[in-house]
C-alpha cells in the first residue's frame, strides 16, 4: 500500500508476472568468477490498482485501466534495470567468496577460485574450484597445479569437494612457511598407562626412558623427558588407494623438565624419514592409522648442546627409532582412531548431511548440503 501526500492511498498488485534473465558464467585468469548479462525480460500479465480516500476517487476509478496500462511498461523496464544494476554487486560477492576463512583464528584460508568456466545443465550449475589452502597475507604459493577431474559421481547434495593430496599439501606448505609445523611432546600427550614412561625415575618396563638411557636418571633424577619437534622442510603427502605416505625432515630436541618447570636441553638432532599408513572412511569420519615411521637419516644438529647422558648411546638412530615407534606412533594412532569429522566446519556456512567416499583411488569425495549463515 502506498500513501499520497494529500492523504490518499492505493494498492498495486502484480499478477501472472514472469521475469526471464539470461546469464553467462566465466572466469578471469586468476580464477575469479565473472557474470555476464545477456538479456532480461519482464512480463506483467495483469495489474490490479485500488485507490482509497482520494478527493477525486470517483473520477480516478474511471481511468484505472488507463493508469494500469501506463504504469505497466515502466515497471517492467524498472525491474530489468534493477537486475542489471545488481550484476556488479553479485560479481563482487563472487570474487570475495573465492578466499574463504576456515579457522576461527583467521589464519588458514581456502582459495575457491575457478579452474574452468562454469557450465550450466538442466536444473543445475557445475563449477570446478581450485581448493588451495593458504595462510593469511602470505603470497607464497606451491608450484604444482590442482588435479583435473575426469568425472564426478552423481550426488543429490549441493556441493561435492574432492579432498586430494593437492589440498593436503598446500595446507602443509602454508603451515610450514608460517612456522606452524612444530610441537612439544610431553608425558601429558600420552594415555595414563604410558605417561610414566618418560619419567627419569620410571622402572620395571623396558620402554622406560631410564632403561633406554640409564645415565639420564643419574644426571637428572625426578625429571620428565620431552621432545621438541620442528619441521626443517615442507612435508609432502601422497594418497593412493586408501593409503598415504609422508616424507619429512625435522629437528628433534631432547630436553628434561624438573618438578619446578625448569628445562634443560640434552640433545639436538636432525631426522629425515617417511611415514606410511592407511586412511579409512566410516560414516562421516576419516580415520587414520600410522603403520610405519622409519627414520632414514639421523645426525647431530647441534654439537654444542650439553649431552653427556646421551654420549653412552652407541646406536643413536636406533634409540630415536624406538622413541618414534613407541611414543610418537602410539600417540598419532590414539588420535587417529577417534576420527576426523568431515567436512571441516567453514566459517559463515552450515554444512549438513555430509557423505564421504573414496574417489579415483587418489582422494576422497565429500558431498554436503549447505546453508548460508547471516554475517
Residue 2 grid coordinates:
502506498
Query: What proportion of the chain, given as a percentage, has pLDDT over 70?
Result: 79
The answer to whether 226 and 282 are in contact (CB under 8 A) is: no
Sign of CA dihedral 302, 303, 306, 312: positive
Q: Which residue has the higher pLDDT, 246 or 51?
A: 246
The answer to whether 256 and 224 are in contact (CB under 8 A) is: yes
Q: Cell numbers 512480463 label which residue?
A: 43
The answer to whether 277 and 291 are in contact (CB under 8 A) is: yes
* Residue 248: how many other CB atoms lie within 10 Å: 22
Q: What is the pLDDT of residues 164-203, one digit of tens each?
A: 788 889 989 999 999 888 888 888 887 777 788 889 999 8
* Lowest mean pLDDT, pick from 228-242, 272-286, 299-313, 316-330: 299-313
**Which pLDDT score, from 0 to 100, does residue 311 have?**
59
Phi, psi of 337 (to 5 degrees): -70, -15
Residue range 109-114: mean pLDDT, rounded:
82
What's the pTM? Answer: 0.68
H or E segment to which residue 368 belongs: strand 363-372
**Which pLDDT score, from 0 to 100, does residue 173 have?**
93
Q: Is 66 exposed, middle or buried (0-12, 13-18, 19+ CB in 10 A)?
A: exposed
**Which pLDDT score, from 0 to 100, does residue 4 have?**
47
Q: Cell numbers 610418537 label which residue?
A: 328
**SS3 state at 269:** strand
Asked whether the predicted pLDDT for residue 94 surpasses 90, the reply is: no
**Which pLDDT score, from 0 to 100, does residue 365 have?**
77
* Lowest mean pLDDT, pick from 21-30, 151-160, 174-183, 286-295: 151-160
* Residue 5: how many other CB atoms lie within 10 Å: 5
With bands split at pLDDT 50, 70 and 90, how would you rate the model's confidence at 344?
low
**Which pLDDT score, from 0 to 100, does residue 2 have?**
44
Between the alpha carbon of residue 197 and those of residues 42, 256, 318, the distances in Å are: 76, 13, 18
The answer to whether 233 and 248 are in contact (CB under 8 A) is: yes
Residue of 147, 161, 331 lying closest to 239 (CA atoms):
147
Q: What is the pLDDT of residues 280-289, one digit of tens each?
A: 877 777 788 9
The answer to whether 319 and 300 are in contact (CB under 8 A) is: no
Between the alpha carbon of residue 335 and those of residues 49, 71, 123, 175, 287, the distances in Å are: 68, 68, 42, 20, 9
Residue of 350, 341, 346 lying closest to 373 (CA atoms):
350
Q: Which residue has the higher pLDDT, 160 or 209?
A: 209
Distance CA 219, CA 329 (A): 28
Q: Cell numbers 519482464 label which residue?
A: 42
Q: Cell numbers 624438573 label which residue?
A: 258
DSSP label at residue 106: S
Amino acid at each position: 500500500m502506498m500513501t499520497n501526500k494529500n492523504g490518499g492511498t492505493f494498492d498495486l498488485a502484480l499478477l501472472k508476472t514472469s521475469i526471464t534473465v539470461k546469464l553467462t558464467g566465466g572466469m578471469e585468469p586468476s580464477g575469479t568468477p565473472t557474470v555476464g548479462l545477456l538479456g532480461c525480460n519482464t512480463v506483467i500479465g495483469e495489474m490490479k490498482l485500488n485507490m482509497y480516500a482520494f478527493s477525486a476517487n470517483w473520477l480516478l476509478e474511471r481511468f484505472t485501466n488507463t493508469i494500469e496500462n501506463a504504469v505497466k511498461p515502466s515497471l517492467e523496464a524498472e525491474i530489468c534495470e534493477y537486475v542489471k544494476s545488481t550484476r556488479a554487486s553479485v560479481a563482487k560477492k563472487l570474487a570475495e567468496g573465492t578466499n574463504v576463512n576456515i579457522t576461527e583464528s583467521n589464519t588458514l584460508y581456502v582459495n575457491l577460485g575457478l579452474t574452468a568456466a562454469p557450465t550450466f545443465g538442466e536444473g543445475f550449475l557445475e563449477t570446478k574450484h581450485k581448493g588451495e589452502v593458504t595462510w593469511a597475507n602470505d603470497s607464497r604459493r606451491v608450484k604444482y597445479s590442482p588435479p583435473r577431474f575426469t568425472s564426478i559421481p552423481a550426488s543429490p547434495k549441493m556441493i561435492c569437494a574432492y579432498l586430494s593430496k593437492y589440498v593436503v599439501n598446500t595446507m602443509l606448505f602454508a603451515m610450514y612457511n608460517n612456522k606452524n609445523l612444530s610441537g612439544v611432546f610431553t608425558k601429558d600427550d600420552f594415555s595414563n598407562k604410558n605417561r610414566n614412561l618418560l619419567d627419569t625415575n620410571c622402572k620395571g618396563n623396558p620402554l622406560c626412558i631410564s632403561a633406554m638411557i640409564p645415565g639420564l636418571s643419574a644426571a637428572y633424577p625426578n625429571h620428565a623427558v620431552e621432545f621438541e619437534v620442528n619441521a626443517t622442510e615442507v612435508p609432502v603427502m601422497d594418497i593412493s588407494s586408501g593409503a598415504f605416505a609422508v616424507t619429512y625432515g625435522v629437528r628433534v630436541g631432547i630436553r628434561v623438565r624438573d618438578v619446578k618447570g625448569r628445562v634443560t636441553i640434552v640433545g639436538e638432532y636432525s631426522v629425515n624419514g617417511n611415514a606410511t599408513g592407511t586412511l579409512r572412511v566410516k560414516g562421516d569420519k576419516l580415520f587414520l592409522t600410522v603403520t610405519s615411521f622409519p627414520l632414514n637419516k639421523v645426525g647431530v644438529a647441534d654439537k654444542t648442546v650439553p649431552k653427556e647422558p646421551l654420549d653412552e648411546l652407541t646406536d643413536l638412530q636406533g634409540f630415536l627409532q624406538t622413541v618414534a615407534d613407541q611414543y610418537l606412533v602410539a600417540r598419532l594412532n590414539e588420535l587417529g582412531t577417534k576420527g576426523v569429522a568431515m567436512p571441516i566446519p567453514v566459517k559463515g556456512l552450515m554444512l549438513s548431511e555430509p557423505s564421504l567416499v573414496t574417489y579415483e583411488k587418489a582422494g576422497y569425495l565429500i558431498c554436503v548440503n549447505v546453508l548460508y549463515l547471516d554475517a
